[in-house]
Structure 1
Amino acid sequence: MIRFHLKCDHDHSFESWFQSGDAFDKLARAGMVTCATCGSAKVTKSIMAPAVSTSSQVASPKPLDAALAKMRAAVEKNAAYVGGSFVKQARDMHDGVIPERPIYGEARLDEAKKLVDDGIPVMPLPFIPSKKTN
């Protein structure tokens, strides 16, 4: 996981976590990285310095880490992990084939982009989910 400092075309700054630099690039090209303030999809990485530890002790969690942990706990408590069937289940719920419920799972970038293009509301999680079922 890597945290990037990001900036949109409206000069809003924010941070987000990605699986890798390549993952950010792919998501950004697909328009799936949006500004946390205004929703703009024109987002670029800002200049950032690497985090360097000056102590052998583990630092206490930063506010962003705590917020991500809280978000992860809420997602895992209130949604069902559906793994690789995420795309099918999201589409089936949108089409009224199955009842709507909160889910999370896995999708390839092209599959997620197709869901978005078809008006099905999905978003990438800023963390790698545990593979739990509810």
Structure 2
Amino acid sequence: MICYRLRCAAGHEFEGWYRDSATFAQLQAGGFLSCPECGHAGVQQALMAPAIAKKRSEGPAPRQCPEVPAENAGEKPVSPVLPDQMVAAFQKIRQAVETGCENVGDRFAEEALRMHHKEAPERGIYGQASEEDRSMLAEEGVDVLSIPWVRRADG
């Protein structure tokens, strides 16, 4: 594994872990890297100091994940940062949903139920539903999928 210090076009710096430098280059060329703070896809390597072992028998000092400070290493992070690949995948899912489905907003549960009962034409929809709405839809046998709604790749 290799750790790169990265910087987005907006100036946010963050770390990314990759199998090797070729994997990083492939992901970067394919547009699969994005800033975990703003979602911007223009990600480049930033300057970074190498880890140098003091003794030959010792390896480089182990690195802590940036979102888990060393003093809290045993605790679950409060707001973990999604890896670049996941953010990119969710951005593509969002784009596909927005392009191919109808946004019914807070009428999601009502419209999904109407489609289930054949009272409305069947089509792809998305919107917001409360936990109560999701429970009611599950009881009615309506399959619903919740997707993490990340920032758009273009904004």
Instruction: Output the TM-score relative to the length of structure 2.
Output: 0.44
SS at match of 1:90: helix
Report the counterpart of residue 37 of structure 2 in structure 1: none
2: CA distance between counterparts of 1:87 and 1:101? 14
* AA aligned opposite 2:104: V
Q: 1:109 aligns with which of 128, 131, 134?
A: 131
Equivalent of 1:51, from 37, 44, 67? Answer: 67
Two-structure CA RMSD over aligned residues (Å): 2.4
Q: Indicate the percent of aligned positions where both proteins have the same amino acid.
A: 36
Q: Could you tell me which runs of 5 or more consecutive residues in structure 2 were left unpaired when the two chains were aligned.
A: 1-64, 69-82
The offset of 1:129, in angstroms, is 8.1
Cα pair 2:87 2:150 within 8 Å, conserved: no
Q: Structure 1 residues 111, 68: CA separation in 2 closer, same or farther (over 3 Å shift)? A: same
Q: Contact 2:103 / 2:126 at 8 angstroms: preserved in 1? A: yes
Q: Which has the larger radius of gyration?
A: 2
Task: For structure 1, list consecutive stretches of 5 or more residues without a partner in the other structure.
Answer: 1-48, 53-60
Question: Taking structure 1 as reference, are residues 85 and 68 closer, same or farther at Cα in structure 2, changes over 3 Å only?
Answer: same
**What amino acid sits opposite 1:82 in the alignment?**
V
Whole-angstrom distance in 2 between the partners of 1:115 and 1:124: 13
2:145 to 99, 123, 130: 123
Aligned residues: 75
Residue 72 of structure 1, CA deviation:
0.6
Matched, 1:100 2:116: no
Cα drift, residue 62 of structure 1: 1.1
